[in-house]
Amino acid sequence: MTTRRQFLILAGGAAVSGAVEAQLPPNIEALRKAALAEAVRKVTGDAQVRRGKVKLDLPPLIDNGNTVPLSVDVESPMTSADHVRAIHVFTEKNPQPYVISAHLGPRAGRARISTRARIADTGTVLAIAQMSDGSFWSDSVNVVVTLSACLEDGLI
C-alpha cells in the first residue's frame, strides 16, 4: 500500500527517469519526445542522421494498433565495403521508444526486414539505418491509429 509520501516521491522521480508510474504525468508529450531523442542518440551518438536511402513502409491508416505490419528497406549494395550494419525502428507515442534493432551485414544480401509492431497512438514511426561507413540515414512515417469497435468485457 503506497503512502501519499511514497506516491509523491514516485511521481516526482518518475517524471525525471521516465519510468512507468501510476498516473500519467501532465507533460507526457515532452517526456516521450525526450525519450525518443535519447534512444536515437544512444544509437547514433552525435552523428548526423540524414533523410534518404531508407524506405519505411507501414499503413498510414492502421486497422489495429496492436499489430501493425511494417517493413524497412535500405538502398545498399551490401558488399563488405559498403553495407547496412543495423536497422533500428522507433515510435514516438509508445510508453518506450524502441521497437526492434536488427543487425545485418554483407551476408544479408539485401537490407530489408519485415515485422509487426505495436503502435499506441497516432504519431510518427522512425527507422534509422546504420551504414558500414559510420553514416546514419532515416525515414519516418506518420500513422493514424484508430480504436477497434466492440472490445472484450471490462476494457474501455
Partner 1 sequence: MSVRVLRLFLLLALACAARAEIPLAERRSGYEDMGRETRAMQDDDATNPATLWVLDGESLWQRKEGAAARACADCHRDARDSMKGVAARHPAFDAATGKLLNLEQRINGCRVERQQAKPFAYESRELLALTVFVARQSRGMPIAVESSERTKPFLEAGRATFRRRQGQLNLACVQCHDERAGRRLAGTVIPQAHPTGYPIYRLEWQGLGSLHRRMRNCMAGIRAEPYALGAPEFVELEMFLMWRARGMRLETPGVRP
Partner 2 sequence: MARVVVNLPQRARRGEIIEIRTLAGHGMETGFRRTQLGELIPRDIITRFTCSYNGVEVFRAELHPAMAANPLIAFSTVATESGTLEFRWTGDNGFSATHSASITVD
Alpha-carbon span 153 to 86, nearest angstrom? 42
From the number of C-beta atoms within 10 Å of its C-beta (0-12, 13-18, 19+), residue 142 rates as exposed
Q: Which does 132 bind (CB under 5 to 8 A by kind): partner 1, partner 2, none?
A: none
Alpha-carbon span 28 to 143, nearest angstrom? 19
Q: Which does 147 bind (CB under 5 to 8 A by kind): partner 1, partner 2, none?
A: partner 1
Q: Could you list the residues that contact partner 2 (CB under 8 A)? A: 20, 22, 66-69, 71, 91, 94-96, 98-105, 107-110, 112-119, 154
Closest approach of partner 1 to the CB of residue 78, in Å: 23
Q: Could you list the residues that contact partner 1 (CB under 8 A)? A: 58-59, 61-64, 66-69, 116, 144, 146-153
Residue type, 14: A
Q: Which does 115 bind (CB under 5 to 8 A by kind): partner 2, partner 1, none?
A: partner 2
Closest approach of partner 2 to the CB of residue 149, in Å: 20
Q: Cell match 503506497: residue?
A: 2
Spatial CA neighbour of 127 closest among 96, 94, 145, 100: 100
